[in-house]
Amino acid sequence: MKKFRKIIFLLAIVLLITVSCFRIDNGEQQNIASNSSNTGQQNNLTEYKPYSTQYYNGIDYKMSRSKVGKYGGQIVVSTIGEGPKTFNPWVSKDATSSQIGDLMYDPLFSTDPDTGEVIPALAKEMKVSDDLKTYTITLRRGVKWSDGKEITADDVVFTWNEIIIPGFGNTSTRDSVLIDGEYPQVKKLDKYTVEFKIKKPFAPFQRLVGTQIAPAHIFKSVVKKGHRYFDSYLGTTINPKNIVASGAFIVEEYVPAQRVILKRNPNYYAMDENKNILPYIDKYVILIVGDLNNELLKFEAGELDVISVRGKDMARFKQKEKKGKYKIYNLGPNTGTMFLAFNLNTRKNKEGKDYVEPVKQKWFNDNNFRTAIDYAIDRNAMVYNVANGAAQPLYTAESLSSIFLNEKLASGHERNIDYAKQLLKDSGFYTDKDGILHDKDGNEVEFDLYTNAGQTEREACGVMVKEDLKELGIQVNFKPIEFNSLVNKMMTTSDWDMVLMGLTGSPLEPHSGKNVWNSRGHLHLFNMRFAGDKNDKILEWETRLDEIMEKGALELDFKKRKAIYDEYQQIIYDERPIIYLYSPLTMTAVRNKVKNLYPTPLGGTMHNLDELYIEE
């Protein structure tokens, strides 16, 4: 395999993982194989060989780095909630749907799970011009879609020029590659070569250009029917036989609220040294479990091969490790985030109705009120009582393992109820003789707090938040609801007050969070903007976040980028539209029968799913 051309600004960010948009996290996403971004203790991959490509029978195969395995068997994992909302990765908004999409649709480039460097996937090579504005990408020859049609430059150009740039589905990738008001120019040079031109050097582009590719011969007719049809295409009611994909696995069966079964793609472009076409396993099964306790029981009954281990269950898992024939892997702090978010939406929808009650709008948009909530939260109690000590308090928008972490904010502040009460008093709030908090107009302070039902850690944290805020005289109505219903509230109707939720994302590239922090971002949860909104005022600090996200992506010097992203963390810390809670350790138990397993902090537990095999 030819080495990528090395350029100075890429050396400065050599450890960056895949730049993808943040996704709403149901709290159990690490149980599904994906290119997730876990950081922590490094595992030794001494058995791995260098990445290479071998031309065989007219195909540029990606060569396996693991030892030769054997065909057959299945791996069973789980997810909580009601399962995926779509099989279309260009539409998906939740982690489960996105991860299933990741299994079916490969990107042009992926990430080395050991070093974090960009590595080939559907593409074979990338060359970058001296002025850092032209990217020439060469595809693998002979690679086929699951229906047997060859993957060519036409598919790449179509994906970018007719899906991503026109804004079909989830617009996060499009929003992330808008450089000084211009999108990349994408054109075909020949059957296997595509050229991307950007307006100016852009630090995250090498990652963004490697996004998933759609089959043009299938999606062209879909795009012609418009955005609404596109959004519904590859819905969960589709006949799996009609799905055309490029990944190692394709959906074979979906039983709502029960399971998703993916089968191996016989046309996959990976091969071992004995010329066996990967993947080895026949099926990858995702059981949809109701809650974390049910998931635990299924693992102990032998129905699951992989499970996330919560801190409170660690002693139980260690005690049964040998008898249960599994091994526990500790990959360090979880790089996703768990937080409380306020709904700051003060606008009216296209029907002229408020998204949030006007009285609550005043509370939530009062910085003293939000800060008082922050100081009333007992993070240490959550760490010890919910995570059993296997976590650390979190105060910043960047994870504790991020190379862009604002160290000055990392230690946060101690809980201080007296200070919280003073802040409320400063804004005219008062408590009556029964200890109930009222605003300056006499309204009792009461609001709803949502989280996804079945995620017992979040439910436990929600109960603790309710009790913490009771000390301020606030009545919190804690309402765990089904995950997809919660996503709909957050992303479509905006009829919520406060939410306890999590986001996936990159610990090493803040630009992947642009869809959260940009004022018109697809996941700007705390102040979502919808088509037809009236009185669309952008807050002053939101405007500054917009500027920072643009400035940070255009800066190529790491130290200067670090200073820029320190500022965005300071803004979130000061304004508190989101209040971060804690970062748990990522611990996963995997059955010993799963072979060729090389968990890494960057890649996660099953990053090399196509190389895994079963040996009872």
Structure tokens at 592: 């010993």
Average pLDDT over residues 395-399: 92
pLDDT at 48: 54
DSSP assignment letter at 490: I
Taking 70 as the threshold, does the pLDDT of residue 35 lie above it? no
Residues 332-379 have pLDDT tens digits of 777 778 899 999 999 988 888 999 999 999 999 999 999 999 999 999
Task: Yes or no: say if 400 and 333 are a contact pair by the CB < 8 Å rule.
Answer: yes
Is residue 16 in a domain? yes
Return the minimum-mean-pLDDT range out of 9-18, 77-86, 145-154, 425-434. Answer: 9-18
Task: Name the one residue in this structure whose structure tokens are 């058995």.
Answer: 47
- Work out how many domains the chain is built from and give that number: 2
Average pLDDT over residues 295-313: 93
pLDDT at 367: 98
Confidence class for position 6, pLDDT limits 50, 70, 90: very low
pLDDT at 203: 84
pLDDT at 21: 53
Closest CA to 266 of 277, 251, 252: 277
Average pLDDT over residues 382-386: 92
Same domain, 152 and 253: yes
Residues 227-280 have pLDDT tens digits of 999 999 999 999 999 999 999 999 999 999 999 999 999 999 999 999 999 999
pLDDT at 369: 98
Burial of 478 (0-12, 13-18, 19+ CB in 10 A): middle
Task: Yes or no: say if 245 and 265 are a contact pair by the CB < 8 Å rule.
Answer: yes
Residues 225 and 122: their CA atoms lie apart, in Å, by: 28
Residues 453 and 328: their CA atoms lie apart, in Å, by: 26
Residues 83-97 have pLDDT tens digits of 999 999 999 988 889
Is residue 485 in a domain? no
Same domain, 540 and 434: yes
Same domain, 32 and 70: yes
Same domain, 351 and 282: no
Is residue 40 in a domain? yes
Is residue 567 in a domain? yes
Closest CA to 406 of 396, 421, 415, 416: 396
Structure tokens at 449: 């707090």
Taking 60 as the threshold, does the pLDDT of residue 76 lie above it? yes
pLDDT at 32: 52
CATH of the domain at 577: 3.10.105.10
Structure tokens at 519: 């004022």
Residues 517-571 have pLDDT tens digits of 999 888 899 999 887 787 778 999 999 999 999 899 888 888 999 999 999 999 9
pLDDT at 334: 77
Contacts of 76 (CB under 8 A, 6+ apart): 285, 286, 287, 303, 304, 305, 306
Is residue 484 in a domain? no
Confidence class for position 7, pLDDT limits 50, 70, 90: very low
pLDDT at 18: 34
The residues facing 265 across adjacent strands are none
Q: Which residue has the higher pLDDT, 112 or 285?
A: 285
Residues 189-242 have pLDDT tens digits of 999 999 999 999 988 888 889 899 999 999 999 999 999 999 999 999 999 999
Tell me the residue range of the domain where 466 lies: 337-445+458-479+497-584
Task: Name the one residue in this structure whose structure tokens are 């996290």.
Answer: 25
H or E segment and range at residue 592? none
Residues 141 and 62: their CA atoms lie apart, in Å, by: 11
User: What value does the mean pLDDT of the chain take?
Assistant: 89
Same domain, 395 and 514: yes
Residues 215 and 154: their CA atoms lie apart, in Å, by: 9
Same domain, 272 and 219: yes
CATH of the domain at 219: 3.40.190.10
Is residue 287 in a domain? yes
Confidence class for position 27, pLDDT limits 50, 70, 90: low
**Taking the chain, what is the end-to-end CA distance rounded to the nearest angstrom?**
35
Residues 298 and 468: their CA atoms lie apart, in Å, by: 34
pLDDT at 15: 27
pLDDT at 616: 86
Same domain, 74 and 139: yes
DSSP assignment letter at 489: I
Contacts of 326 (CB under 8 A, 6+ apart): 589, 590, 591, 592
Share of the chain above pLDDT 90, in %: 70
Same domain, 564 and 606: no
Same domain, 356 and 298: no
pLDDT at 179: 87
Is residue 432 in a domain? yes
Same domain, 289 and 159: yes
Structure tokens at 28: 């159990």
DSSP assignment letter at 499: E
Same domain, 597 and 580: no
Is residue 327 in a domain? no
Confidence class for position 176, pLDDT limits 50, 70, 90: confident
Same domain, 85 and 199: yes
| Strand 475-481 to 446-452 pairing | parallel
